């Protein structure tokens, strides 16, 4: 106890001081103990505080400090060694913890400071976002308005409704006092007040379009603020104090033609309407940017809606027009079909019914001519015959033409003498030409084949028609006929662009040019020449044909894979008719359809016709027998019949020739011939019909030919005559001369 470490109070009078120290220590300890409690309490309350470990440490530090001070209380008086130990332990611990805490704080405090800066940063960010939100909200508002407006505007295709709706909706959305639309007039010189919001039917105010304010608005696609006193804005009676702000925007009026591929509408459109919007007066409202943008968008939408409406109107109109046209075309087509049917029916009737009476007339007239007649009667009968012959030709022509058009006409292809044909044409036309004192020349090129394969009769018809026309329309001078083989260069004619001749080994193209020195043809008449029944004015006087001739020629030429055209240098300068037809070359075995040699004089005639089936009709037994004997002698296989009915019953397509004795008076004969014609519709199958007659009258012969006979033989018939008749018949299928 002598060396006790206890602190000895130095000033016994300082008990007061000690007491105060005692109390202070107590309170310090209390505070020291309560602070961690508070900390723990608040930490428990807030879950987010990140530094719990620090708090624990701090708490421990404070608790230990408090403990130290608390234990200090006991050291004021005499205390035992235990207390001293405890005191020491406490102090040591406290020292450790406080050092650790101090070290920890070095790390912690910068972190804590940065938290503060982050908080500041976040606050700024939040403020910014708030601002932006406000903006977006405004924009979205605007967008909604625009969509709604657009929807209203585009929900109709009627122009007036569109414009009306625009104004109403704009007025509603933007709470406008007045909204007006000025449309350009038709003349384009003025703007007329067409629609307003408040007045239902605005009276037609107009302003000239060249005002500076209007030009200013039209020159830009943005909304332009204009003065409330400008003429376009003076819509309300003045009397208010402060008119509201007025803006104007242009509305393009688009047309379909405005939309080019590479241009944008702004560049090409010319017409604008003017939309004027007025804010309510006496309000302090101003035009906001988003409202102006809204107006611009609406103006564009209106333009589009209007153009749609216009397009729709046009397309409806076009569709109505098309429907009308369709109806009209349908009607026309039905009418045309009816007409064609009627024509076909008519032709079908004409084909048979008209020919039969014609034959009767001709045959009977010619028979009448044979009898004893007074001169007057003879004249009358001749006139009847002539007229009926003309009529028969006309009927045949017309029927030919319609058969040509129907495509039912077939060419009779056979071998024929080409040179001979030309000479024949010359012979036929020569008399007429010499009467008119015209010369006729024929020039056949040296490479023109002597024989050709084609339809001789129709080629002759073409030639006669063409040369006949040349003679008909020439008053003086002459006709020259040139025929040659067309070479490939001359085959393609620039005047006939549709004609594509294809030369081949088996065929050649015959080209014939008939030049006359006659009245010529004016260029505008040339295309009409080949049309049926068309005759130009200048020709009508001289012509007596039906106008069918050239049309028929053209059809025949076309059937022969050829082409025909006329050239003329003009009226009074003559005319050249040129045609080219395709003919087969002779000398090929597949072309020789005939068994018998043709008729050039050098070749001998066949003396026998082995097995040739013929039919002999004669009601006179003796004469029948004689004819039969004659034919049998020539090698034929003869069947005899004695009446017309029997003849019709027996005749078949095996019989090549039917010999009919026509000296029996009566109409049996031609009726039989007609029936035979009918029975064998194809010309190839039909037997040739030859009339045996004792009459020498030429007229009769022609009439028999018209009735449908292929030849006429005068009785009595000698063997030689019969032989030559048969030869010629089988060669040419017709007897050109009376034998």
Partner 1 sequence: MDGLVIQLQRQLVDYSTSLYKEGFLDDQFKQLQQLQDESNPDFVVEVVCLFFEDSERLLSELSKTLSQQNVDFKKVDAHVHQLKGSSSSIGAQRVQRVCIAFRNYCEEQNNEGCLKSLQLVKHEFSLVKTKLEAMFKLEKQVLAAGGSIPMH
Instruction: Catalog residues that contact partner 1 under the rule CB under 8 A.
Output: 619-623, 625-627, 629-630, 632-633, 661, 663-665, 694, 715-719
For residue 381, count other CB atoms closer than 10 A to its CB: 20
- DSSP helix/strand/coil, 201: coil
Least Å from the CB of residue 617 to partner 1: 13
Q: Which residue's CB is nearer to partner 1, number 583 or number 634?
A: 634
Check whether 472 is labelled as a binding-site residue. Answer: yes
Asked if 631 and 616 count as a contact pair (C-beta separation under 8 A), the reply is yes
Following DSSP, what letter does each residue of 1-40 receive, concatenated?
A: -TT--SPPPS-GGGHHHHHHHHHHHHHHHHHHHHHHHHHH
Q: Which residue's CB is nearer to partner 1, number 17 or number 632?
A: 632
Q: At 549, phi and psi to the nearest 5? A: -50, -55
Give the DSSP H/E element, type plus range, for residue 213. Answer: helix 212-218
Check whether 469 is labelled as a binding-site residue. Answer: yes
Q: Which residue's CB is nearer to partner 1, number 430 or number 663?
A: 663
Measured CA angle at 39 (ends 37, 43), to 5 deg: 120
Q: Which residue's CB is nearer to partner 1, number 364 or number 485?
A: 364
Least Å from the CB of residue 614 to partner 1: 15
Give the DSSP H/E element, type plus range, for residue 551. Answer: helix 549-559
Check whether 179 is labelled as a binding-site residue. Answer: no
Least Å from the CB of residue 691 to partner 1: 14
Q: Which residue's CB is nearer to partner 1, number 168 or number 364?
A: 364
Least Å from the CB of residue 373 to partner 1: 13
| Spatial separation of the C-alpha atoms in residues 298 and 168, rounded to whole Å | 12
Check whether 366 is labelled as a binding-site residue. Answer: no
Tokens 């005499």 sit on residue: 78
Least Å from the CB of residue 429 to partner 1: 38
Compute the CA torsion angle 481, 484, 488, 492 (nearest 10 deg).
Answer: 10
Side-chain-side CA neighbours of residue 101 (13 Å): 19
Q: Which residue's CB is nearer to partner 1, number 179 or number 638?
A: 638
Q: Which residue's CB is nearer to partner 1, number 258 or number 627?
A: 627
Least Å from the CB of residue 621 to partner 1: 5
Q: Which residue's CB is nearer to partner 1, number 64 or number 717?
A: 717
Question: Which tokens go with 657?
Answer: 């020739």
| Spatial separation of the C-alpha atoms in residues 36 and 33, rounded to whole Å | 6
Q: Which residue's CB is nearer to partner 1, number 209 or number 631?
A: 631
Least Å from the CB of residue 690 to partner 1: 17
First-to-final CA distance of the chain:
196
Least Å from the CB of residue 684 to partner 1: 31
Least Å from the CB of residue 632 to partner 1: 7
For residue 700, count other CB atoms closer than 10 A to its CB: 20
Asked if 253 and 269 count as a contact pair (C-beta separation under 8 A), the reply is yes
Check whether 437 is labelled as a binding-site residue. Answer: no
Check whether 470 is labelled as a binding-site residue. Answer: yes
| Spatial separation of the C-alpha atoms in residues 707 and 354, rounded to whole Å | 13
Q: At 443, phi and psi to the nearest 5? A: -130, 110
Check whether 582 is labelled as a binding-site residue. Answer: no
Q: Which residues contact 309 (CB under 8 A, 6 or more apart)?
A: 157, 158, 159, 162
Asked if 661 and 673 count as a contact pair (C-beta separation under 8 A), the reply is no
**CA-CA distances (angstroms) from residue 650 to 175, 223, 614, 653, 675?**
110, 106, 11, 10, 13
Q: Which residues contact 719 (CB under 8 A, 6 or more apart)?
A: 630, 633, 634
Q: Which residue's CB is nearer to partner 1, number 157 or number 714?
A: 714
Least Å from the CB of residue 620 to partner 1: 4
Strand intervals (E) in 499-562: 507-516
Question: Which tokens go with 489?
Answer: 């260069």
Asked if 691 and 669 count as a contact pair (C-beta separation under 8 A), the reply is yes
Q: Which residue's CB is nearer to partner 1, number 526 or number 626?
A: 626
Least Å from the CB of residue 426 to partner 1: 37
Give the DSSP H/E element, type plus range, for residue 627. Answer: helix 621-633
Check whether 471 is labelled as a binding-site residue. Answer: yes
Q: Which residues contact 305 (CB under 8 A, 6 or more apart)?
A: 153, 154, 162
Binding-site residues, in ranges, read 65, 69, 469-472, 516, 532, 546, 550
Binding-site residues for Cu cation, in ranges, read 65, 69
Binding-site residues for ADP, in ranges, read 469-472, 516, 532, 546, 550
């Amino acid at each position: 106890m002598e060396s006790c470490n206890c602190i000895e109070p130095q000033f016994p009078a300082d008990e007061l001081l000690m007491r105060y120290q005692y109390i202070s220590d107590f309170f310090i300890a209390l505070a020291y103990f309560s602070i961690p409690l508070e900390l723990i309490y608040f930490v428990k309350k807030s879950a987010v505080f990140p530094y719990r470990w620090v708090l624990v440490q701090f708490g421990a530090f404070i608790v230990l400090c408090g403990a130290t001070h608390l234990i200090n209380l006991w050291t004021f008086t005499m205390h035992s060694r235990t207390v001293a130990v405890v005191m020491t332990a406490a102090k040591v611990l406290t020292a450790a913890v406080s050092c650790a805490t101090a070290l920890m704080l070095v790390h912690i405090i910068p972190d804590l400071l940065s938290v503060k800066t982050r908080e500041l940063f976040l606050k700024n960010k939040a403020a910014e976002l708030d601002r932006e939100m406000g903006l977006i909200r405004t924009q979205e508002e605007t967008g909604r308005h625009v969509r709604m407006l657009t929807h209203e505007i585009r929900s109709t295709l009627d122009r007036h409704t569109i414009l009306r709706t625009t104004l109403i909706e704009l007025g509603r959305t933007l709470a406008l006092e007045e909204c007006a639309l000025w449309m350009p007039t038709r003349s384009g010189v003025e703007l007329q007040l067409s629609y307003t919001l408040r007045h239902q039917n605005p009276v037609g105010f107009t302003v000239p379009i060249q005002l500076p304010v209007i030009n200013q608005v039209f020159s830009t696609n943005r909304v332009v603020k204009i003065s409330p006193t400008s003429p376009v804005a003076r819509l309300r009676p003045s009397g208010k104090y402060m008119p509201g702000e007025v803006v104007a925007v242009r509305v393009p009026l688009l047309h379909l033609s405005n939309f080019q591929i590479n241009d944008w509408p702004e560049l090409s459109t010319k017409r604008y309407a003017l939309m004027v919007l007025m804010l309510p007066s006496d309000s302090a409202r101003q035009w906001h940017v988003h409202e102006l943008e809204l107006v611009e968008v609406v103006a564009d939408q209106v333009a589009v809606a209007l153009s749609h409406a216009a397009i729709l109107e046009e397309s409806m109109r076009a569709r109505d027009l098309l429907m009308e046209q369709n109806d009209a075309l349908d009607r026309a087509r039905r009418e045309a079909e009816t007409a064609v049917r009627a024509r076909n029916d008519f032709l079908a009737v004409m084909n048979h019914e008209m020919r039969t009476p014609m034959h009767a007339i001709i045959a009977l007239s010619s028979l009448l001519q044979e009898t004893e007649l007074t001169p007057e009667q003879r004249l009358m009968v001749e006139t009847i015959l002539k007229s009926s012959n003309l009529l028969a030709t006309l009927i045949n022509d017309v029927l030919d033409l319609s058969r040509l058009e129907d495509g039912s006409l077939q060419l009779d292809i056979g071998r024929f003498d080409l040179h001979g044909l030309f000479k024949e044409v010359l012979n036929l036309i020569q008399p007429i030409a010499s009467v008119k004192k015209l010369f006729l020349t024929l020039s056949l090129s040296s490479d023109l084949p002597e024989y050709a394969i084609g339809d001789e009769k129709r080629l002759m018809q073409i030639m006669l028609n063409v040369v006949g026309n040349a003679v008909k329309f020439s008053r003086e001078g002459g006709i020259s006929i040139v025929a040659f083989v067309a070479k490939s260069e001359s085959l393609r004619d620039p005047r006939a662009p549709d004609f594509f001749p294809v030369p081949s080994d088996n065929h050649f193209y015959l080209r014939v040019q008939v030049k006359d020195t006659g009245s010529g043809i004016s260029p505008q008449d040339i295309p009409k020449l080949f049309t049926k029944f068309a005759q130009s004015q200048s020709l009508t006087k001289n012509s007596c044909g039906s106008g069918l001739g050239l049309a028929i020629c053209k059809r025949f030429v076309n059937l022969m894979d050829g082409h025909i055209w006329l050239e003329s240098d003009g009226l009074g300068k003559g005319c050249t008719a040129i045609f080219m037809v395709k003919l087969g070359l002779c000398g090929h075995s597949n072309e020789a359809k005939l068994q018998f040699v043709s008729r050039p004089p050098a070749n001998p005639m066949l003396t026998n016709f082995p097995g040739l089936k013929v039919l002999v009709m004669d009601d006179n037994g003796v004469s029948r027998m004689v004819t039969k004997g004659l034919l049998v002698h020539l090698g034929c296989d003869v069947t005899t019949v004695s009446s017309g009915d029997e003849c019709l019953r027996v005749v078949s397509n095996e019989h090549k020739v039917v010999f009919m004795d026509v000296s029996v008076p009566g109409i049996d004969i031609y009726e039989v011939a007609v029936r035979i014609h009918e029975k064998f519709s194809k010309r190839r199958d039909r037997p040739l019909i030859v009339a045996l007659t004792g009459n020498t009258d030429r007229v009769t012969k022609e009439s028999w030919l018209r009735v449908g006979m292929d030849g006429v033989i005068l009785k009595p018939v000698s063997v030689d005559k019969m032989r030559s008749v048969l030869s010629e018949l089988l060669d040419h299928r017709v007897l050109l001369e009376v034998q």
